[in-house]
Amino acid sequence: MSLRIVVTVKYVPDATGDRHFADDLTVDRDDVDGLLSELDEYAVEQALQISENSDDDVEITVLTVGPEDAKDALRKALSMGADKAIHVEDDDLHGTDAIGTSLVLAKAIEKAGYDLVLCGMASTDGVMGVVPALLAERLGVPQVTLLSEVAVQDGTVTGRRDGDAASEQLQASLPAVVSVTDQSGEARYPSFKGIMAAKKKPVQSWDLSDLDLEADEVGLAGAWTKVEAATERPARSAGTIVKDEGEGGKQLAAFLASQKFI
Amino acid sequence: MAEVLVYVDHADGAVRKPTLELLTLARRIGEPVAVALGNGAADTAGVLAEHGAVKVLTHEAAEYADYLVVPKVDALQAAAAQVSPVAVLVPSSAEGKEIAARLALRLGSGILTDAVDLEAGDEGPVATQSVFAAAYTTRSRVSRGTPVITVKPNSAAVEPAPAAGAVEALSVTFSDKARGTQVVSRTPRESTGRPELTEAAIVVSGGRGVNGAENFALIEALADSLGAAVGASRAAVDAGWYPHTNQVGQTGKSVSPQLYIASGISGAIQHRAGMQTSKTIVAVNKDAEAPIFDLVDYGVVGDLFDVVPQLTEEINTRKG
Ligand SMILES: Cc1cc2nc3c(=O)[nH]c(=O)nc-3n(C[C@H](O)[C@H](O)[C@H](O)COP(=O)(O)OP(=O)(O)OC[C@H]3O[C@@H](n4cnc5c(N)ncnc54)[C@H](O)[C@@H]3O)c2cc1C
Ligand SMILES: Cc1cc2nc3c(=O)[nH]c(=O)nc-3n(C[C@H](O)[C@H](O)[C@H](O)COP(=O)(O)OP(=O)(O)OC[C@H]3O[C@@H](n4cnc5c(N)ncnc54)[C@H](O)[C@@H]3O)c2cc1C
């Protein structure tokens, strides 16, 4: 048996950099370095572990929708151990919203062929946490999301979802869409060998016409949401900082009382 | 008047506070029609009516507990078909966002997540979002279909606004995908007796500086003196000192309380992403250069093992 895993990975501006919006209110990608969204490394890791624990013939494809530089995210995932990569890139994709992104990803996943789609819990820039659910809806397959533990066996995926009120054990048949949290297990670092091997792994590039999509279905113009304004949050006004000379706790209590918290 | 669908988050009929906040926001846009699903759905009507629900659509079925997300999407879709709302509001929990996203796709609508404010606009409701770890505030709207918007806890005040709250049974036919993902078993979380982290008015958090699970008793004692919820940084959670459900930050809970007290937390961007919109921020840290001090209204440079117990004692004394 074979198991085809597609891992969706996003290329994002570094969260520790100074992130801004461009004039058209999309993410300014010029001033900040981009990288593979750290939370998607967990998805790549789980794909690799599923492969290592499986008797099946497992093929791991990493898929990204993003600008030219998004190839860096694919390279990183390949160097961790994925087998091949698909890059959906098209100028008309600029400014695509979540609904549009899920459309492009779903088309590409179907074209690639899949038994299991693995996603991160959320991107580190948009942070919506909705794309996996949207993919399940579009592909018409079970959604098994936000897992902190996942296993695949005999065409069934099982896992643990830790919610606010309860921890749930979930089960569904493949094909399915799974997302994993940062509690699912540390992602491995690419080895030197992995980095060298990644250079020879195939990266396919698809544009909208390869996916039978029209320009007006995606991008800023095709978006079903509109950002009207983005303003930098004013720096918080400088607070009072005291050094504890033995009375720090009492001084803090006095502050809290002055603010009516006590 | 135009009707606004509000998805009710409840536990066996006990309505969670964020839903009541949604009713406050919904009333700015139209007349709230609540949708309550699953065990105890009808029991929600009283409190929803007190807070402005003109109607409460209810449906009880085992599917809501036995299968993930999709049965609830089916029900909301049925409610939307019946009511033709001008917007659908859903609390921004992890599940709430998933439900909202699938609903939006089915309705042919755009979706906005994690709104922190909402107001009526000429071209439909305008949502305020706090993005890039709260470095930016955006104002957005849905430009196609019925706006589907998820709203973060503590985004509005709970306001009494008595309305009819007439209970109506919602008729739901589950789709063939509804039973796709089975919930095989469920282990409820043990209640700590403290307020829910995302809903609490005060959050007291500890980080790596707390230096051990047993020392979290200091943080808990401070929290209890203030009636607060307890939070933790990822460093403290990863070290196994405190449960992941209490993690504050990008991959934990996002909180926006009246008061946030951080002890032994440096203030990394991923932690700030989850607490930067708190109204008042206080920190105790022995390193005067810690980035958390850039955010504070009041900071104490000192050893938390001295400052925190003294603070707790002083609060308890002042309370008498
Ligand atoms: C600050 C900000 C706010 C935004 N707010 C909204 C909004 O309210 N409504 C809206 O419709 N759009 C919004 N967008 C746009 C939206 O972020 C993008 O369309 C995005 O591709 C999908 O949402 P996400 O990044 O939040 O993904 P999430 O749903 O958080 O991502 C979950 C997982 O989906 C996969 N994934 C997501 N995007 C890609 C991709 N491009 N390629 C491969 N895999 C991917 C990854 O596995 C990821 O871990 C916003 C963007 C930004 C930067
Ligand atoms: C993708 C991603 C997601 C992440 N998500 C989260 C998240 O959700 N939440 C989160 O918190 N982090 C998150 N992180 C981790 C984050 O980057 C930081 O590593 C983490 O917040 C550090 O926790 P800390 O402040 O407790 O520890 P440290 O950064 O080690 O800081 C400890 C602080 O305690 C002080 N201290 C030590 N001893 C004492 C004492 N006795 N008295 C007073 N002060 C003392 C020190 O001066 C120091 O400032 C994420 C990281 C990544 C890459």
Domain boundaries, chain B: 3-169, 202-319
DSSP class of residue A259 equals T
Nearest chain A residue (CA) to B297 = A239
Structure tokens at B313: 């004692």
Q: Which of B113, B173, B109 is nearest to A137 (CA)?
A: B109
Say how far apart CA B181 and CA B202 lie, in whole Å: 37
The CATH class, in words, for B202-319 is: alpha beta
pLDDT for the residue numbered A31: 79
| CATH code, domain carrying A19 | 3.40.50.620
Mutate to test the interface with B, among A14, A25, A261 (most CBs of B within 10 A): A261
Indicate if the pLDDT at residue A59 is higher than 80.
Answer: yes
Indicate if the pLDDT at residue A1 is higher than 80.
Answer: no
**Beta-carbon-side half-sphere exposure of residue A85 (alpha carbons within 13 Å):** 29
Instruction: Tell how strand A11-13 and strand A84-88 pair up.
Output: unpaired
For residue B303, list chain A residues with Cβ-Cβ distance below 8 A: 244
Question: Which of B93, B131, B244 is closest, CB to CB, to A162?
Answer: B244
Nearest chain A residue (CA) to B300 = A242
Indicate if the pLDDT at residue B191 is higher than 90.
Answer: no
pLDDT for the residue numbered A238: 85
| Residue A227, domain member (yes or no) | no
| Residue A206, domain member (yes or no) | yes
The finding on whether B299 has its CB within 6 A of some atom of ligand 2 is no
Indicate if the pLDDT at residue B32 is higher than 80.
Answer: yes
Q: How far is the CA of A186 from the centre of ligand 2 (A)?
A: 17
Sheet holding B148-151, edge to edge: A225-232, B136-142, B126-131, B111-119, B148-151, B87-91, B3-7, B31-37, B55-59, B166-169
| Residue A142, domain member (yes or no) | yes
Structure tokens at B34: 């609540």
Contact B102 A16 (CB under 8 A): no
pLDDT for the residue numbered B165: 96
Contact B318 A223 (CB under 8 A): no
Say how far apart CA A185 and CA A208 lie, in whole Å: 35
pLDDT for the residue numbered A165: 85
Say how far apart CA B100 and CA B95 lie, in whole Å: 9
pLDDT for the residue numbered B320: 81
Say how far apart CA A46 and CA A113 lie, in whole Å: 19
Q: Which of B72, B114, B137 is nearest to B198 (CA)?
A: B114
pLDDT for the residue numbered B127: 98
Indicate if the pLDDT at residue B260 is higher than 80.
Answer: yes
Closest ligand relative to B253 C-alpha? 2
pLDDT for the residue numbered A18: 86
Indicate if the pLDDT at residue A235 is higher than 90.
Answer: no
Structure tokens at A210: 């390869």
Q: What ligand 1 atom has the least distance to the C-alpha of A40?
A: 49
Q: Does A221 touch chain B (CB under 8 A)?
A: no
* Cβ contacts of A12 within 8 Å, gap of 6 or more: A34, A35, A36, A37, A123, A124, A125
Structural domain of A92: 2-222
Residue B116 pLDDT class (50, 70, 90 cuts): very high
Percent of chain B's residues with pLDDT above 90: 97
Indicate if the pLDDT at residue B317 is higher than 80.
Answer: yes
How crowded is residue A173: how many other Cβ atoms within 10 Å of its Cβ?
Answer: 14
Q: Does A171 touch chain B (CB under 8 A)?
A: yes
The pLDDT tens digits of the residues spanning A144-177 come to: 999 999 999 999 999 999 988 899 999 999 999 9
* Cβ contacts of B190 within 8 Å, gap of 6 or more: none
Per the CB < 8 A criterion, the answer to whether A42 and A152 are in contact is: no
Percent of chain B's residues with pLDDT above 70: 100
The pLDDT tens digits of the residues spanning A78-137 come to: 999 999 999 999 999 999 999 999 999 999 999 999 999 999 999 999 999 999 999 999
φ/ψ of A3, rounded to 5, equals: -130, 120
Ligand 1 atom 22, closest CA: A98
Within this chain, domains B3-169 and B202-319 share the same CATH topology: yes
Q: How far is the CA of B216 from the centre of ligand 2 (A)?
A: 15
Residue B229 pLDDT class (50, 70, 90 cuts): very high
Q: How remote is the C-alpha of A61 from its chain's centroid?
A: 15
Considering only residues A29 and A66, tell me which one the structure prediction assigns the higher pLDDT: A66
- The one-letter code for the residue type at B46 is G
Instruction: Tell how strand A176-180 and strand A116-120 pair up.
Output: parallel
Say how far apart CA B308 and CA B305 lie, in whole Å: 6
pLDDT for the residue numbered A164: 82
Ligand 2 atom 9, closest CA: B249
**Who lines ligand 1 at CB under 6 A?**
A 8-10, 27, 37, 39-40, 43, 64-66, 96-99, 101, 105, 119-120, 122-123, 125-132, 225; B 110-113, 131-132, 140
Q: Which single residue is written with the structure tokens 């013939």?
A: A57
Indicate if the pLDDT at residue A199 is higher than 90.
Answer: yes
Per the CB < 8 A criterion, the answer to whether A58 and A118 are in contact is: no
Q: Does B66 touch chain A (CB under 8 A)?
A: no
Which stretches within chain A are classed as H helix? 38-52, 71-80, 98-112, 131-139, 192-198, 219-222, 248-258
Indicate if the pLDDT at residue B252 is higher than 90.
Answer: yes
Q: How far is the CA of B232 from the centre of ligand 2 (A)?
A: 9
Q: Which of B114, B109, B80, B84 is nearest to B97 (CA)?
A: B114
Residue A229 pLDDT class (50, 70, 90 cuts): very high
Q: At what angle do helices B304-319 and A248-258 cross, to 10 degrees?
A: 50
How crowded is residue A153: how many other Cβ atoms within 10 Å of its Cβ?
Answer: 12
| Residue A262, domain member (yes or no) | no
For chain A, the domain total comes to: 1
The pLDDT tens digits of the residues spanning B43-75 come to: 999 999 999 999 999 999 999 999 999 999 999
The pLDDT tens digits of the residues spanning A70-88 come to: 999 999 999 999 999 999 9
- Could you give the angle at the alpha carbon of A39 between the alpha carbons of B151 and A63, nearest 5°? 105
How crowded is residue A262: how many other Cβ atoms within 10 Å of its Cβ?
Answer: 17
Give B3-169's CATH code, choosing from 3.40.50.410, 3.40.50.620, 3.90.110.10, 2.40.50.100: 3.40.50.620
Is residue A52 classed as helix, strand or coil in its secondary structure? helix
Considering only residues A31 and A199, tell me which one the structure prediction assigns the higher pLDDT: A199
Is residue B153 classed as helix, strand or coil in its secondary structure? coil
Instruction: Give residues 245 to 304 of B whose Cβ lies within 8 Å of A.
Output: 245, 250-251, 258-259, 269-270, 273, 280-282, 284, 288, 293-303
pLDDT for the residue numbered A236: 82
